[in-house]
Chains A and B, each alone.
Chain A
Amino acid sequence: GAGVSQSPSNKVTEKGKDVELRCDPISGHTALYWYRQSLGQGLEFLIYFQGNSAPDKSGLPSDRFSAERTGGSVSTLTIQRTQQEDSAVYLCASSPPRANTEAFFGQGTRLTVV
């Protein structure tokens, strides 16, 4: 596709359930980022993948959160035992590895935990 694709666009889940959020980056982009945005707030960094390097997981808020990136392309963010405070929009971005390049964002997945 032409841009970063995230699925699902909306997800409602019951407290305590596990959820998986998917991000399809732009082909050839080796850098992939996940962010979380709570209502009315700024973007909170979660995790960063760069090529075959170990991911930077420093932004993950708890061990209930994990992410993987298979084959250097698609990424999945998993939240186990969801809590109401996990409700937010989860945004994915991809870019070439260089700092002087544009990062492209998906439209996000709106997660609601009830």
Chain B
Amino acid sequence: DAKTTQPNSMESNEEEPVHLPCNHSTISGTDYIHWYRQLPSQGPEYVIHGLTSNVNNRMASLAIAEDRKSSTLILHRATLRDAAVYYCILRDTGNQFYFGTGTSLTVIP
């Protein structure tokens, strides 16, 4: 039931930017795009979300395509602590949200 598609895994060198892609071609007009990450042996934690415009916060940036059918999570300088599984999720008010398999990010020292 996941409505998003992400690569299974990606690698990045420490202190370099990381671009994590997500495809959501069936997105509806009221779906928000959320990103969560899950560190080993922990529950998922919120990273960022957006609707149409690009968003920035202290953790990351979210770039949303003009047609909203894809988005990219940008970590500006990857650290070893950013190694996690990153989930891209569509969330609509009043409904459950589904997690896909996510992207497992490996950060290389």
Residues of A within 8 A of B (CB): 4, 33, 35, 41-45, 48, 50, 56, 58-59, 91, 93, 97-100, 102-108
Contacts and interface: CB of A to CB of B under 8 A. Distances in A.
Contacts of B31: 99
Interface centre among B46, B49, B96, B102 (most CB of A within 10 A): B96
A97 B94 contact: yes
Given A33-B96, A48-B96, A99 B42 contact: no
Contact of A35 (B45, B94, B99): B99
Given A33-B96, A43-B99, A99-B93, A104 B46 contact: yes
Interface string B21-53: 000000000111010100000111110010100
A41 B95 CA distance: 23
If over half of B's interface residues share one DSSP class (helix, strand or loop), that class is named, otherwise mixed; here it is: loop
If over half of A's interface residues share one DSSP class (helix, strand or loop), that class is named, otherwise mixed; here it is: loop
B108 to A, nearest CB: 21
A50 B42 CA distance: 25
Contacts of B101: 41-42
A98 B93 CA distance: 5
A108 B43 contact: yes
B71 to A, nearest CB: 15
Interface centre among A35, A42, A43 (most CB of B within 10 A): A43
A107 B42 CA distance: 6
